[in-house]
Structure 1
């Protein structure tokens, strides 16, 4: 399936007007980054879907349709998440993150957060304050891969055993994911169509819309950043007691950034006030987690009739892994992508050395992030036509299943990475001088932009601005 066909499928699944597709222009073809998978098509089609859906909602609000052009190379590089701060390119990976050879295979451990790193090392019976990577590798060589995976999951840690595609497909979780669509958009309550402010021709298509972004690690922040690029007032809500990773500097472009402590009555009251005035509520808690705090889709629909809720998970809401924590790198490993890239299947002799290798970017996170933005805009379009409150659900594993369905790319592993420089831009931010990539969707009349600078968590008050762009 090529990128245009993928866009067509995504668009039709959401029930959006087919005639709008003629305003999308996709250029380029895979391979654009070294991979045997169609990562370029995945990036290009989801980015185009998000931008086109925003423009279609803008059209429904009174503005003319506009052309959306996405070049595959730019889209793929956009999805690498590259950035620098004051000339320094941060190393986003902890020393203990990565693949470990076990007695009967491989395990990938995600240790970028201190509590995950310390938990994994304690599971290995190592001292977190003194252990070395070499010591961890020696211990892991004595474990069976699935045993460590299960032991880590039982303690709420993040590690997965490497699987082949056939092993994943035969697993209960693999079968649960295969039975699900790429995303779901479901009406969850009755409400009249929201009275959205009219849109001028010179305004970005989501101007005047308010989005709460309660996500932390990549996919959700990417979705919120895209909605901000198309004009929405996006408020990133962080807890003052939880850590973040440095990529927050890149994904916070265009957003307000506030602290709200949901452990307190006052914090929950503040979030209820914000949600009552929001059009979209995006959250990346594990299934049931946000509902336990009083902000599940059903509760939000009662609080703010007509709201669009977007829920992000690692492994979906069905199957035995539905409540497991997960990150892009782990989902790639569990689902078979790392094994397949190592083998270079379909690439020809000598293309793969057999050692597991990751995809060239965190495409499951990135593509899922753009599906969040797409789903939010598509559900708002449906809300304007049909009324109701809506719930959009996406997961990294469902995106992975879809990526497999795009097919393999002969010769893809042998190409070199293209130069980032033609797509880079710099801006001042609350983190320092930020260099990052321009948004890859080109809107012909109202270009995507992030007029608000990226700022650290807690830089803004938890209150909506009095007018668009304030």
Structure 2
């Protein structure tokens, strides 16, 4: 199939500021059934993986001096990868991607969805609702009773004011009329800008597009880690950094920690800041996935980073965008689906629904990796510190309003053909193979994930 038939890839490639003629390097194959939904989820998945693969192939050409390799996008591999967080197993054991209090609830006038996977979010939700924090198995009933007595919008504001996460279910029209929704509609799918005129980094000859590049990964579930997992696949030395006081799910890391190392550094501590600055001095890419402004006090604005490390590629990801009244709110894929009208579109008259995968997360993750790869290519050509920005809401707008309608495909793929197993520090790990593929490119990660937060804060895998 010719890539011109897939407008999603053309749109995303144009948003990346790339040469449209390279789309002819892309071909598509595999069973077409996968990620069935009313919205064009499979098209989003196919397009984001296609442009990420093509950006990797383009950078490979830059580094080898050879023609851009052919890119093959396999639908079965793509659909499997978008379900990677649900398919991962350790010694045959699965894990629940959502905690009991992360779900839809019926409010007095509609529906609200909460997110309480992390202990601190659970505690804030319970506190906002006046439910005892030490409640046990009765928590679901107690929360349901508390929510039923309030309107969805009241709950949204009350829980957010307490630092928790709850979003009222809106229709696409209601979201479009909101201030944040209107601002999102005026944004492109992603933005790539040049911050300064720093000279470009010299990229030596290498078989893998990211070989020799060092990536500081300051992201959490799920889009950011998907992006940096992809950069690790392509040869980058990726070091994930988390704050020691913020808990992380080892089960989630089993999926998104492929190819990476993971450490904890306290940026609020003088010793931790010194360690971070030493890492930054040798970094080529910095990827952040926290709320806009959350890391500013640590000197992690694009301008401050460019001043200390000219020639960086800086990639920033947020849930709601770096603009508007919601820019400082916490958010996750499931909540963005609820706010933007996706839950209503995928639901029924009885209850809201959800996409067949965390598609906003995965799709934005591959777009983020593509943005980094393209920034490296452009930086090689003309220099400059580069800034790439994406938001889950902008991906959601693309899915709902821009991509062509879904063809109504049935679920007809076999995920078992696109998973494999390896030994890991956690046990026998079963995981989805990467969907990013081009002629001569890697087919698997060089290393499995390790135990979260246990690696030394140094480059190059040192102990």
Residues 1:285 and 2:290 are matched in the alignment:
yes
Q: Which residue of 1 aligns with 2:215?
A: 211
In structure 2, what is the equivalent of residue 179 of structure 1? 186
Map of 2:238 onto structure 1: 234
Q: Are 1:458 and 2:453 an aligned pair?
A: yes
CA contact 2:425–2:451 (8 Å) conserved in 1:
yes
Q: Retained in 1: the 8 A contact 2:226–2:366?
A: yes
> How far 1:431 sits from its partner (Å)?
2.3
Correspondence 1:86 to 2:91: yes
Which of 409, 412, 421 is equivalent to 2:416? 421
Closer/same/farther in 2, CA of residues 205 and 369 from structure 1, 3 Å limit: same
- Tell me the residue number matched to 1:72: 75
Offset of 1:83 from its aligned partner?
0.5
**Which residue does the alignment assign to 1:350?**
none
Superposed displacement of residue 410, structure 1: 4.9
- Structure 2 unmatched runs, 5+: none
Contact 2:76 2:414 survives alignment (8 Å): no
Of the three residues 87, 100, 105, the one matched with 1:100 is 105
Query: Is 1:382 matched up with 2:378?
Result: yes
The match for 1:331 is: 336
Preserved contact between residue 4 and residue 26 of structure 1 (Cα < 8 Å): no
Q: Deviations over 1:100-131 (max 9, x none)?
A: 00000000000101111111112111112124
Deviations 1:16-62 (A, max 9, x none): 23332222112358652231111111111111211211221121122
Inter-CA distance 58–260: structure 2 relative to 1 (3 Å threshold): same
Task: After superposing the two structures, state which structure 1 stretch, 221-230 or 121-130, moved more.
Answer: 121-130
Give the one of 140, 145, 156 matched to 1:149: 156
The alpha carbon displacement at 1:300 in A equals: 1.1
Structure 2 counterpart of 1:407: 404
State which of 25, 44, 47 in structure 2 corresponds to 1:45. Answer: 47
Partner secondary structure for residue 443 of structure 1: coil
Matches within 5 A, 1:424-443: 424-443=419-438
Match of 1:170 among 177, 188, 204: 177
* Counterparts in 2 of 1:129 and 1:3: CA distance versus 1, 3 Å: farther
* Residue segments in structure 1 that go unaligned for 5+ positions in a row: 344-352
1:30·1:409 contact (CA, 8 Å) conserved in 2? Answer: no
* 1:347-358 equivalence runs, <5 A: 353-358=349-354
**What corresponds to 1:301 in structure 2?**
306
Contact 2:30 / 2:76 at 8 angstroms: preserved in 1?
yes
Deviation at 1:417, TM superposition (A): 6.2
RMSD between aligned residues: 1.9
Residue 363 (structure 2) pairs with residue 367 (structure 1): yes
Could you report, residue by residue, the CA deviation over 1:2-23 in whole angstroms, capped at 9, with x for unpaired residues? 8732112222222223332222
Matched residue count? 454
Contact 1:160 1:330 in 2 (8 A): yes
Of 372-381 and 68-77, the range deviating more from structure 2: 68-77
Q: TM-score, normalised by structure 1?
A: 0.93
> Does the 8 Å CA contact 1:230/1:448 hold for their aligned counterparts?
no
Aligned to 2:27: 25
Whether 1:445 and 2:447 are equivalent positions in the alignment is no
Q: Which of 113, 117, 120 is residue 112 of structure 1 equivalent to?
A: 117
Alignment check: 8 A CA contact 1:431 1:456 kept: yes
In 2 relative to 1, CA 320–2 (structure 1 residues): closer, same or farther, beyond 3 Å? farther
Structure 1 residue 354 displacement after superposition = 4.0
3-state SS, counterpart of residue 263 of structure 2 = strand
Shift of residue 403, structure 1, vs aligned partner: 0.9
Out of 198, 205, 208, which is 1:198 matched to? 205
Deviation digits for residues 190-217 of structure 1 (CA, Å, limit 9, x no counterpart)? 2111112222xxx222211111111011
Q: Tell whether the 8 Å contact from 2:33 to 2:412 is kept in structure 1 after alignment.
A: no
For the Cα contact (< 8 Å) 1:332–1:338, is it kept in 2? yes
**2: CA distance, partners of 1:140 / 1:265:** 43
**SS state at 2:112 partner:** strand
Please say which of residues 268-277 and 99-108 is displaced more in the overlay.
268-277
Separation in 2, partners of 1:422, 1:18: 32
Greater displacement, 20-29 / 303-312: 20-29
State whether residues 280 and 307 of structure 1, in contact with CA within 8 Å, keep that contact through their aligned partners in structure 2: yes
Cross-structure match for 1:224: 228
Match of 2:140 in 1: 133
